[in-house]
Amino acid sequence: MSDQEQADAADDAEEAESEEATEEETGGLQDGDFVRIAYTIRTVDDGQVIDTTDEETAEEAEIDTEEYEFEPRIIAIGAGHVFPSVEEALIGQSVGDTGTIEIPAAEAFGEFDEEEVKTVKADKIPEDDRYPGAQVQIDGEQGRLETIIGGRARVDFNHPLAGEDLEYEYEILEEVDDREEQAAGMLGMYLQEAPEVRIETVTEEEEVTVESDDEDGEPETETQEVENEVLYIEATPQMTMNQQWMFSKQQIAQDLMQRLDLDKVIVEEVIDGGGMGGLGGMMGGMGGGAGGADIEEALEEADVDADELVEELDEE
């Protein structure tokens, strides 16, 4: 072995040792890892449960267990799925680890702002909602009605948990490596439901720019076959009407592609039910189904003889 080869081998060995040492120093979960986590969030002052993945805890807190699914969530560390303090605590942790993190109000739902408690005209509030504690919407802002006297109402536009320090209790159940599970988990965090998903490698034809053989020639385009990693999402009616999806689907798709190394996201709308019965009313206009009588009436109005039309069609 030459001196240069020996030097190169020594450099490679040193680099490998350095990488191994770095891995040991930064062992455990890292930014970008996906984990399944169980958690319960309470207010520090009175221990009120405001969110949990545990159904028994929800029942004890008298949270409606029929409206929501209580099960551990999949989160991507570093994606903003949990509070920053929690993400920091998860770095370096391992499966099976537990912990409790205190989240200051400023990081949670903000400090209470007295200026967000405003007096408005009572006629801006529907009569059915004119009672203390009612959730009301005024000029596009969501608030809680505190008092109403005569023609004036006092409304608190702070978040209901503004000024509350929180306690985040968690357990790391497993690391999630399957990309379809990861995709479903991310969608679940965004939409509060996890639709059916699948990832496929699809061969598609795309136009690409290639350099011309002629030095003075302009670049040319040609069609080439490329393999794309595509995420298919089966859109449920609930998903298509979800406000978070309606207003942020481009951002959600971009986040999915970036974190899961995808080339494309395709949303498939599935419509259940059979038959063409529903089209009859549309084709028949306001009068109902497009039956034979309706067709004959339409032909008569157009001064067309139905028998003559059939004969002409047969001759063709």
Tens digit of pLDDT for each residue in 116-144?
A: 999 999 999 998 999 999 999 998 899 99
Both 73 and 100 in one domain: the answer is yes
Q: Please report the pLDDT score of residue 67 as a whole number.
A: 72
Both 168 and 49 in one domain: the answer is yes
Q: Residue 6 — very low, low, confident or very high, per pLDDT cuts 50/70/90?
A: low
What global pTM score does this model have?
Answer: 0.68
Q: Please report the pLDDT score of residue 289 as a whole number.
A: 45
Both 56 and 100 in one domain: the answer is yes
Q: Residue 288 — very low, low, confident or very high, per pLDDT cuts 50/70/90?
A: very low
Both 38 and 143 in one domain: the answer is no
Q: Please report the pLDDT score of residue 28 as a whole number.
A: 92
Both 246 and 309 in one domain: the answer is no
More confident residue, 208 or 290: 208
Q: Average of pLDDT values for 204-226?
A: 75
Q: Please report the pLDDT score of residue 238 as a whole number.
A: 82
- Whether 212 maps to a domain, the answer reads yes
- Whether 274 maps to a domain, the answer reads no
CA gap 164, 112 in Å, rounded: 8
Both 94 and 233 in one domain: the answer is no
CA distances to 36, 54, 199, 215 from 41, in Å: 16, 11, 33, 65
Both 54 and 171 in one domain: the answer is yes
CB 162 within 8 A of CB 110: yes
How many domains is the chain partitioned into structurally? 4
Both 128 and 171 in one domain: the answer is no
CB 37 within 8 A of CB 72: yes
Residue with tokens 């003889």: 305
Both 35 and 90 in one domain: the answer is yes
Q: CATH number of the domain that 127 lies in?
A: 2.40.10
Q: Residue 23 — very low, low, confident or very high, per pLDDT cuts 50/70/90?
A: very low
pLDDT at 278 over 50: no
Q: Please report the pLDDT score of residue 39 as a whole number.
A: 97
Q: Residue 68 — very low, low, confident or very high, per pLDDT cuts 50/70/90?
A: confident
Q: CATH number of the domain that 99 lies in?
A: 3.10.50.40
Q: Please report the pLDDT score of residue 12 as a whole number.
A: 63
Both 144 and 132 in one domain: the answer is yes
- Whether 230 maps to a domain, the answer reads yes
Q: Average of pLDDT values for 169-182?
A: 95
Both 122 and 198 in one domain: the answer is no
- Whether 275 maps to a domain, the answer reads no
Both 38 and 169 in one domain: the answer is yes
- Whether 239 maps to a domain, the answer reads yes
Residue 264's domain comprises 179-269
Q: Average of pLDDT values for 99-117?
A: 95
User: DSSP labels for the chain?
Assistant: --HHHHHHHHHHHHHHHHHHHHHHHT-S--TT-EEEEEEEEEETTT--EEEES-HHHHHHTT--TTTS----EEEETTTTSS-HHHHHHHTT--TT-EEEEEE-TTTTT----GGGEEEEEGGGS-GGG-STT-EEEETTEEEEEEEEETTEEEEE-S-TTTT--EEEEEEEEEE---HHHHHHHHHHHHHSS---EEEEEEEEEEEEEE--SSTTSPPEEEEEEEEEEEEEEEE-HHHHT-HHHHHHHHHHHHHHHHHHT-SEEEEEE------STTHHHHHTGGGS---HHHHHHHHHHTT--HHHHHHHHHH-
More confident residue, 192 or 258: 258
pLDDT at 98 over 70: yes
- Whether 16 maps to a domain, the answer reads no
- Whether 218 maps to a domain, the answer reads yes
- Whether 20 maps to a domain, the answer reads no
